[in-house]
Amino acid sequence: MTEIALVRGDITEADVDAVVNAANSSLLGGGGVDGAIHRRGGPEILAACRELRATSLPDGLPTGQAVATTAGHLPARWVIHTVGPVYAKREDRSDLLASCYRESLRVADELGARTVAFPAISAGIYGWPMDDAARIAVTTVRATPTDVAEVRFVLFDDAAHQAFTVAAG
């Protein structure tokens, strides 16, 4: 049984086995959570991402998939990078967002991670409405078989925390 925890805070400070990064396909950094993880984790993470691009992922990481690297100087041991879909009013991309959670948990299981912290993937720069992003996040994690004992959603502000609290019922 996976326990779901909701906390307000900065995911780069999470004391967990793996933190999930809301990355982009290039894996070469950006703003939001991605920028914070690379800043705080140091250059080892970017070096590992460049190595992935040079080897297994020459075209980048497709939306909805996930891949792990070192966490550099973060308290966590690994960063699991996933690429959320950009929100689109006229197209339902919910399954791609759900896939980010499923694939991140699959990678966490491969690593043997028991505690995993997620941000609200796609709900920042990628424009996904927070309530809907929270609902998809919580329902997907609950429906995904995994050996991860604790999934911790680390929410950056009150609005995100409130949305996840409602979604978690």
Distance of alpha carbon 57 from alpha carbon 51, whole angstroms: 9
Binding of residue 16 to ligand AR6 (CB under 6 A): no
* Of 131, 48, 62, the residue nearest 99 (C-alpha): 62
34 is annotated as an active-site residue:
yes
Stretch that binds ligand AR6, among 22-30, 49-57, 70-78, 143-151 (CB under 6 A): 22-30
Contact 66, 74 (CB under 8 A): no
Stretch that binds ligand AR6, among 54-62, 71-79, 104-112, 115-123 (CB under 6 A): 115-123
Binding of residue 79 to ligand AR6 (CB under 6 A): no
Coil, strand or helix at 18: strand
Among 2, 4, 30, 75, binds ligand AR6 (CB under 6 A): 30
Stretch that binds ligand AR6, among 48-56, 60-68, 101-109, 123-131 (CB under 6 A): 123-131
Q: Between residue 137 and residue 156, which ones bind ligand AR6 under the rule CB under 6 A? A: 154, 156
Contact 14, 117 (CB under 8 A): yes
Contact 87, 93 (CB under 8 A): yes
CA dihedral 156, 40, 106, 7 (to 10 degrees): -30
The CB density around residue 67, as the number of other CB atoms within 10 Å, is 21
Question: Least CB distance from residue 56 to ligand AR6, whole Å?
Answer: 19
Binding of residue 124 to ligand AR6 (CB under 6 A): yes
Binding of residue 119 to ligand AR6 (CB under 6 A): yes
* x-marked contacts with ligand AR6 along 34-63 as a string, rule CB under 6 A: x-x---------------------------
